Amino acid sequence: MKRTGALHAVADDLTSRGPSAWLLSAMLLGFYLGLYVPSETARLLTTLGKGVWLLGAALAAVTVAVHAAFARRDKTLVARDEAKLGAKVFALAMATAGLAAWFARALEPAEHHGRHLLPSAGASWSTPTLAALLGGALALGAWGLARVRRARGDTGAMIREATWVLVAAQFAGVSLAYGTHLFDPGHAPAAGDHSLRAFGALLYLALDSKWTLYGLLYTCAVSAGGLFMLGRYLHNRYQVARTLVVIAVQATFGFSVPVLLKLFAQPEYYLSYFWPLKIDAFYPDNILRDPAPFVLWSLLGSLVVVPLLGIFFGKRWYCSWVCGCGGLANTAGEPFRHLSQKGEAAWRFEQASIYTVLALAVVTTALVVLSALVGPHSALNGAWWPGHGDVAQWRIEGSLQSGTIITVASKARYYYGLIVVAVLSGAVGVGLYPLGGTRQWCRNFCPMAALLGLLQKIGRYRIRVKADMCISCGMCTQYCEMGIDVRAYAQRNETFVRASCVGCGMCAEVCPRGVLSLEQRWSAGTVKAPALVQLRLRK
């Protein structure tokens, strides 16, 4: 019982913005910054030097000011709380800076130190390190098995406890893959060699990449979180089916297929992403480089499949069943769902930010396509600028007008990738799970979510409310990861559709009276959002 109590105490601290939540957020933010923007991170920290604390202080001041504005609007401002928040944000910034620098060095060793992520031939991590890691995995697995045995008779509880066993196996597998030398890559397989050893040599080379490592860790997180979800919602067929599909899509299209393509010297292609989320799908240089079947898949998916399915099934077919971002949010991120910010201010920020990013995606794509039509061979150049040096060094010169267009397109492409793809989708989108809840990226910045939301407003998907059954418990609103005030609609007996709803079905799951249900049907009349009295909960 003491172990259970200690475990619950840690879980409560982690899911209620306690010290462990801030620490986890710093680790995630540092990891994503070191993964996506290692050179920019190193350059920034080198430039600032010991003055990096000024950046932390500035971030803390901005965060406090924004939080105070929201709190003042809700009439819940407490000066002492704002001071504590400032101190926490400053500490978070300092920890993130240090961890980002460390991850940047660790994840790109080939560029910085002339070595690789995987050990060289005949080498491995030190014996004490491997013993500690594998011993810890074994202990965790044994502890998980003991909890599974104690939960016998309750299938859902057994599945939930089995999550610990799966995490232990994943931890051991990653440690063995990246800490030992299983196959010798020193001898490239001969042409036509289809032996297991040849496949192992190719696999070794494919794993020797920070992106493959990231994909592996991401898939492990979705799988482990998905197993927990299955145990928790075993009684709900919709949640079970949705979770199984999310795990399968991530394991195949999100990891296995790109790795196999890489094994056979093909472009690393992710079949589950479409424009505008995969903004480079329409970039001319990628269209000319990628195999024709991939280009056709991307064009048909983006221009035909996505709009049609969006009209008939809303955004949930993608955001809650296919997309890897939503898959992580609804599996590993499930314990943080209730932390999503509620209230009118958060809602208005969401409306402004998400459509701004969609507009930026459209403009950036148009500029890059236009740059391919001007200047000599600019389509092959792709209007790409790496973020440093004179942009003229990274493009083919044309006339004055075409040169200007290519320069603007190059910088637009770079900064969109840096700010939107790296910082907002990666660092903010996942790094703030423990502090701001899941779906930060999906709710506030994802251009695909914005586009599908517009289609959803004119399509068939809606949430039906059973009349005169709501008891105003507020559970639906509390557990809405998109911050929608579902209770306000239920109190009005109003069947509704909201552009931000991802159709996760959790509002219907937690409702104690079965007031809500997700449906695909044309509305008999126009469904208009009422003038909601948003719940102004201070989270």
Banded model confidence at residue 180, pLDDT cuts 50, 70, 90: confident
Banded model confidence at residue 24, pLDDT cuts 50, 70, 90: very high
Q: Which amino acid is at 39?
A: S
Q: Quick check: is 58 in a domain?
A: yes
Assigned token pair, 206: 């494919």
Of 305, 336, 367, the position where a domain reaches its end is 336
Asked whether the predicted pLDDT for residue 15 surpasses 80, the reply is yes
Nearest-10 crossing angle of helices 400-415, 344-371? 140
The confidence score (pLDDT) of residue 388 equals 61
Asked whether the predicted pLDDT for residue 401 surpasses 60, the reply is no
Cα dihedral 189, 191, 196, 200 in deg (nearest 10)? 40
Q: Which amino acid is at 131?
A: A
Asked whether the predicted pLDDT for residue 244 surpasses 90, the reply is yes
Question: Could you give the number of structural domains in the chain?
Answer: 3
Q: Quick check: is 189 in a domain?
A: yes
Task: Judge if 326 and 371 occupy the same domain.
Answer: no
Task: Judge if 317 and 371 occupy the same domain.
Answer: no
Asked whether the predicted pLDDT for residue 116 surpasses 80, the reply is no
Task: Judge if 55 and 79 occupy the same domain.
Answer: yes
CA 37 from centre of chain: 16
The confidence score (pLDDT) of residue 3 equals 47
From 491, 487, 495, 512, select the one nearest 461 (Cα to Cα).
495
Of 416, 444, 472, the position where a domain reaches its end is 444
**End-to-end CA, the chain:** 31
Q: Which residues, 6+ apart, have CB-to-CB distance to 111 below 8 Å?
A: none
- Stretch 307-318: mean pLDDT: 93
The confidence score (pLDDT) of residue 382 equals 59
Question: pLDDT tens digits for 270-286?
Answer: 999 999 999 988 988 88
Task: Judge if 369 and 330 occupy the same domain.
Answer: no
The confidence score (pLDDT) of residue 399 equals 45
Task: Judge if 196 and 58 occupy the same domain.
Answer: no
**E strands along 308-348, which residues?**
none
Look at 332-336, 348-352, 376-380, 475-479 and tell me which has the smallest mean pLDDT: 376-380
SS3 state of residue 116? coil
CB neighbour class for 362 (10 Å; exposed up to 12, middle 13-18, buried from 19): middle
Q: Which amino acid is at 295?
A: V
Secondary structure, 3-state, 209-248: CHHHHHHHHHHHHHHHHHHHHHHHCCCCHHHHHHHHHHHH
Task: Judge if 287 and 249 occupy the same domain.
Answer: yes
Assigned token pair, 141: 């697995």
Q: Quick check: is 398 in a domain?
A: yes
Q: Quick check: is 267 in a domain?
A: yes
Q: Quick check: is 532 in a domain?
A: no
214 close to 224: Cβ distance less than 8 angstroms: no
Structure-model confidence comparison of residues 317 and 539, the more confident one: 317
Asked whether the predicted pLDDT for residue 182 surpasses 50, the reply is yes
What is the rounded average pLDDT for all residues in the chain?
A: 84
- Residue 234 belongs to what domain range? 127-336
The confidence score (pLDDT) of residue 465 equals 93
Q: Quick check: is 491 in a domain?
A: no
Q: What whole-number distance in Å separates Cα of residue 31 and Cα of residue 102? A: 9
Q: What whole-number distance in Å separates Cα of residue 19 and Cα of residue 455? A: 41
Q: Quick check: is 505 in a domain?
A: no
The confidence score (pLDDT) of residue 113 equals 47
Q: Which residues, 6+ apart, have CB-to-CB distance to 295 below 8 Å?
A: 287
From 226, 141, 145, 201, select the one nearest 175 (Cα to Cα).
141
Q: What whole-number distance in Å separates Cα of residue 414 and Cα of residue 479? A: 37
Look at 338-352, 425-439, 451-465 and tell me which has the smallest mean pLDDT: 338-352
Question: pLDDT tens digits for 404-426?
Answer: 777 888 889 989 999 999 999 98
Secondary structure, 3-state, 428-453: HHHHCHHHHCCCHHHHHCCHHHHHHH
pTM of this prediction?
Answer: 0.87
Task: Judge if 107 and 251 occupy the same domain.
Answer: no
